[in-house]
Amino acid sequence: MKIPILMYHQIDQPPKRGTALRGLIVAPSSFAWQMRLLRLMGYQGLSMRDLEPYLQGEKQGKVVGLTFDDGYQNNLDNALPILLKNGFTATCYAVSSMIGGTNLWDKGKVAEKPLMTLENWRTWRDAGMDIGSHTRTHADLTQSDPKAALNEIKESKHELQFALDYEVRHFCYPYGRFNECHAAMVQESGYVTATTTHRGRVIAGNNSHVKLNRIMIARATNLFLFYLKVATKYEDRYI
């Protein structure tokens, strides 16, 4: 079984034209149509936590993983109501030392946007949504020494679990950058999955899931392209 795991960042109104990485900000109306289409096609949108039995091959069904990187407040404001309306769950990956802050790691490259506060994360959690880790500081692991990388991977899990009283089982590599050592660290730290920015759908089965492909949904992804990405081999050709 092939499972698409969708990767989103922000769900918000578009910033000014020419703004860097504007393409990663999906309009709330587009997101609403995408979720509606999934539902009409008979797919269930699931968080990484809810996707676990499908990834492990224990359950079969038309499922799509829904993930949001970085933990923007607009995920709570704009995506959560749409997820709930469709009966879907999703995982949002938090940068554990930047809760209540802004996307400082992008400073000068992307407009500064508020990240969820602790209170926001509790609302997200209590709505049945999943919380994953995106390291402590949004570090590029390939530019960190092994000790620092392990700290980013392991301590973020502990910090989030402590702050939110929630078991953090899923990880996402910042910038999609990692090597084999980092994948091993993720496994050793007790995560069940880790998502990357490699394109393609995921093959379910009883193997390791610390290098999962994803499907990027961008501002320019129209509904037809969205359909192709989810339901056909369109993304698999990149594997």
Q: Which residue ranges make up the site for Zn ion (CB under 5 A)?
A: 69-70, 174
Q: How far is the CB of 136 from Zn ion (least distance, A)?
A: 13
Q: Classify residue 224 by burial, with Cβ atoms within 10 Å: 0-12, 13-18, 19+.
A: exposed
Q: How far is the CB of 161 from Zn ion (least distance, A)?
A: 20
Taking the least distance from each CB to Zn ion, the nearer of 47 and 196 is 196
Q: How far is the CB of 174 from Zn ion (least distance, A)?
A: 5
**Three-point CA angle 103, 23, 108, nearest 5°:** 35
Q: How far is the CB of 19 from Zn ion (least distance, A)?
A: 17
Tell me if 180 sits within 8 A of 163, measured CB to CB: no
Q: How far is the CB of 53 from Zn ion (least distance, A)?
A: 27
Taking the least distance from each CB to Zn ion, the nearer of 78 and 133 is 133
Taking the least distance from each CB to Zn ion, the nearer of 70 and 130 is 70
- Residue in the block written with tokens 């609403």: 32
Taking the least distance from each CB to Zn ion, the nearer of 174 and 200 is 174
Separation CA 117–CA 110 (nearest Å): 20
Write b or e for each residue in 188-218: b if 16 or more Cβ atoms lie within 10 A of its Cβ, otherwise e: ebebbbbbbbebbbbebeeeebbbbbbbbbb
Separation CA 109–CA 117 (nearest Å): 23
Taking the least distance from each CB to Zn ion, the nearer of 54 and 173 is 173
Tell me if 27 sits within 8 A of 13, measured CB to CB: yes
